[in-house]
Amino acid sequence: MNDLLQKPRKVYVSKQIEFNAAHRLFNHLRSESENYEIYGKCSNKHGHGHNYLLEVTLFGTVDRNSGFLFDLKQLKTILEEEITARFDHKHLNHDVEELRECVPTTEVLAVLIWDILEERLRNINNREISLYEVKIYETGKNAVRYLGQ
């Protein structure tokens, strides 16, 4: 079976999930006016929110037996445990332990999600598969990608 995979084939597999969260861009080591100068309306006192769209991409050689790079049902479980449970319907400044000492910009969020998933995937990874990219669309018009560099 899967003669097309006799020659090893390296592919990128992406999965998107959404989480709905509030945040406020605010550095508590600075004054209100300094924060407003840097972050504008994104530092409004009570916060605002987004439908964050997260795209996670794995890279590696397709398994000849299954024809999969990675079982997407397993990836779904990982994303529910690590991402949905942590961020969905939460306030990033108040509810996410790892962001307590951070300004929760999309850049910082992408870096955090990379760190979380990279560690989780490293432990279950028995083949040549790696996390390739974490991409977050904060709105339909703005996105941040982090590739672990």
Among 36, 78, 120, 144, binds its own copies (CB under 8 A): 144
Region 79-98 residues binding its own copies, contact defined as CB under 8 A: 88-91, 93-95, 98
Alpha carbon distances (Å) from 97 to 1, 87, 93, 104, 112: 47, 11, 9, 12, 11
Q: How many CB atoms lie under 10 A from the CB of residue 124?
A: 10
| 139 sits near its own copies (criterion: CB under 8 A) | yes
CA gap 13, 52 in Å, rounded: 20
Name the residue nearer to its own copies (CB basis): 89 or 122.
89
> Hey, what amino acid is at 76?
K
Catalytic residue among 37, 89, 94, 119: 89
- Subset of residues 61 to 80 that bind its own copies, contact rule: CB under 8 A: 62, 65-69, 71-73
Q: Specify the residue for token string 């605002």.
A: 48
**Number of chain residues interacting with its own copies (CB under 8 A):** 74
Alpha carbons 39 and 34: distance in angstroms, whole number? 9
Identity of the residue, 21 or 121, whose beta carbon is nearer to its own copies in the bound complex = 21
For residue 83, give the DSSP letter. I
Are the C-beta atoms of residues 138 and 145 closer than 8 Å to each other? no
CB of 75 to its own copies, least distance (A): 10
Q: Does 89 qualify as catalytic in the annotation? A: yes
42 is catalytic: yes
Among 15, 82, 120, 125, binds its own copies (CB under 8 A): 15
Catalytic residue IDs: 42, 89, 138
